[in-house]
């Protein structure tokens, strides 16, 4: 027998497009005869029972909004066996027999644990970082990169006017995808990502000096958060090249804003698939994108996969940003 009542929550860092995913889950679930329960503030809401019953209009006018209308949290209590048990008890007392969890890999570990406690869960990759091992795309990535690109375009105006170097930190602690793609899109002279070790002299200074010889007078260096230290980098660049340098950390601005078309569409497709899975009685799954198609994996299998940065894109960046 398929699932009759499902809950939906967002967990971990918010990402633009989460609302489109919530909307898809609510609409697909309700229109196929399910009860859909909204859970506030991630797993904390499941522990405390901070939930409400959704109807078709509960998710009106949210598809274009950034953030998450269900609020989000990282829940230390849910990281304990007692917390997982409490959340599972809440689900049983409310008659919830399946949960859609929208978040990153920490949220998926929670979904695995809750499934283990008897409540089937389906994870949707929602994080700006694009750092989910099993999926080539995560909800929020496109919006965040477009925001970062707009910001760096603005920095370029002032760097160009002053013949300066602008060293910009974008988000991504363990994953350099935002830095790599934004770096390509803004024509950065160097892109530093956590997956590729770098040598300041060879990978930044020499590249700047080479392009300077060909007439270039202003420079953009994009640095992933996982590398960090942009103030010090800017100082060293200035010392070694004599080019006046400034550092900017873009920070949380990248997490906000209206989701792009891509994020809205992918979130809608993924949310729809999550409901199909729970309806078919399947739990412990993660919805993902593979070669542009929506697929799903076992959560444990998904968590064991390894994410790598695109070597091809990285090499292209090196060859054309000169």
Q: Can you tell me the distance from the alpha carbon of 39 to that of 279, in angstroms, rounded to the nearest whole number?
A: 19
Find the binding residues for ligand F6P in span 2-41 (CB under 6 A).
13
The answer to whether residue 129 is catalytic is: yes
Residues within window 264-293 making contact with ligand F6P, judged by CB under 6 A: none
**Is beta strand 219-224 parallel, antiparallel or unpaired with respect to 190-192?**
parallel
Stretch that binds ligand F6P, among 87-95, 167-175, 272-280, 302-310 (CB under 6 A): 167-175
Which stretch, 84-92, 165-173, 185-193, 286-294, contacts ligand F6P (CB under 6 A)?
Answer: 165-173
Calculate helix-pair angle for 81-94, 105-116, nearest 10 degrees: 70
Buried b (16+ CB within 10 A) or exposed e, 46-55: bbeebbeebe
Q: Which region, judged by CB under 6 A, interacts with ligand F6P, from 64-72, 81-89, 171-179, 262-270?
A: 171-179
Q: Does 173 bind ligand F6P (CB under 6 A)?
A: yes
| Smallest distance from ligand F6P to CB 141, Å | 10
Taking residue 106's Cβ as centre, other Cβ atoms within 10 Å add up to 15
List the one residue from 124, 128, 152, 184 that touches ligand F6P (CB under 6 A): 128
Helix (H) or strand (E) holding 85: helix 81-94
Residues near 230 by beta carbon (within 8 Å), at least 6 away in sequence? 167, 168, 169, 223, 247, 248, 249
For ligand F6P, the closer of residues 255 and 273 by Cβ is: 255
68 binds ligand F6P per the rule CB under 6 A:
no
Q: 225-264: which residues touch ligand F6P (CB under 6 A)?
A: 225, 255
Q: Which of 110, 172, 183, 259 binds ligand F6P (CB under 6 A)?
A: 172
Q: Verify binding: residue 76, ligand F6P, rule CB under 6 A.
A: no
CB of 68 to ligand F6P, least distance (A): 13
Give the active site residue among 97, 113, 129, 263: 129
Judged by CB under 6 A, does residue 129 bind ligand F6P?
yes
Per CB under 6 A, 127 contacts ligand F6P: yes
Helical packing angle, 177-186 and 141-162, nearest 10°: 50
Residue 105, interface with ligand F6P (CB under 6 A)?
Answer: no
Q: Is the CB of 13 or the CB of 83 nearer to ligand F6P? A: 13
Rg (CA), the chain: 22
Report d(CA 76, CA 261) in Å as an integer. Answer: 34
Does 194 contact ligand F6P by CB under 6 A?
Answer: no
Q: Please, is 200 exposed, middle or buried when counting C-beta atoms within 10 Å of its C-beta (0-12, 13-18, 19+)?
A: middle
Beta bridge partners of 5: 35
Helical (H) or strand (E) element with 83? helix 81-94
Contact positions vs ligand F6P (CB under 6 A) = 13, 104, 127-129, 171-173, 225, 255
Which residues form the catalytic set? 129
């Amino acid at each position: 027998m398929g699932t009759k009542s499902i809950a939906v929550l967002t967990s971990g860092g918010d990402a633009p497009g989460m609302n489109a995913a919530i909307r898809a889950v609510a609409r697909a679930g309700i229109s196929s005869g399910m009860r859909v329960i909204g859970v506030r503030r991630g797993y904390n809401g499941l522990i405390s029972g901070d939930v409400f019953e959704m109807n078709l209009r509960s998710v009106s006018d949210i598809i274009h909004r950034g953030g998450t209308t269900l609020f989000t949290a990282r829940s230390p209590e849910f990281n304990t066996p007692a917390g997982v048990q409490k959340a599972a008890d809440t689900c049983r007392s409310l008659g919830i027999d399946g949960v859609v969890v929208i978040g990153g890999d920490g949220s998926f570990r929670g979904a695995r644990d809750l499934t283990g406690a008897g409540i089937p869960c389906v994870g949707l990759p929602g994080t700006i970082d694009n750092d989910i091992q099993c999926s080539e795309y995560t909800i929020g990535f496109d919006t965040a990169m477009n925001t970062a690109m707009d910001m760096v375009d603005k920095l370029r105006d002032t760097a160009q006017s002053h013949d300066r170097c602008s060293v910009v930190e974008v988000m991504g602690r363990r994953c350099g995808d935002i830095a790599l793609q934004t770096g390509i899109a803004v024509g950065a002279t160097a892109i530093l990502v956590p997956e590729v070790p770098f040598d300041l002299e060879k990978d930044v200074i020499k590249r700047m000096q080479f392009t300077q010889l060909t007439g270039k007078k202003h420079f953009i260096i994009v640095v992933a958060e996982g590398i960090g230290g942009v103030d010090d980098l800017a100082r060293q660049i200035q010392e070694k090249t004599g080019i006046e340098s400034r550092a900017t950390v873009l920070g949380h601005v990248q997490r906000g804003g209206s989701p792009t078309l891509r994020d809205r569409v992918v979130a809608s497709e993924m949310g729809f698939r999550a409901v199909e899975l729970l309806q078919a009685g399947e739990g412990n799954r993660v919805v993902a994108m593979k070669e542009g198609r929506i697929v799903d994996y076992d959560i444990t299998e998904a968590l064991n996969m390894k994410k790598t940065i695109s070597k091809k894109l990285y090499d292209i960046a090196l060859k054309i940003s000169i």
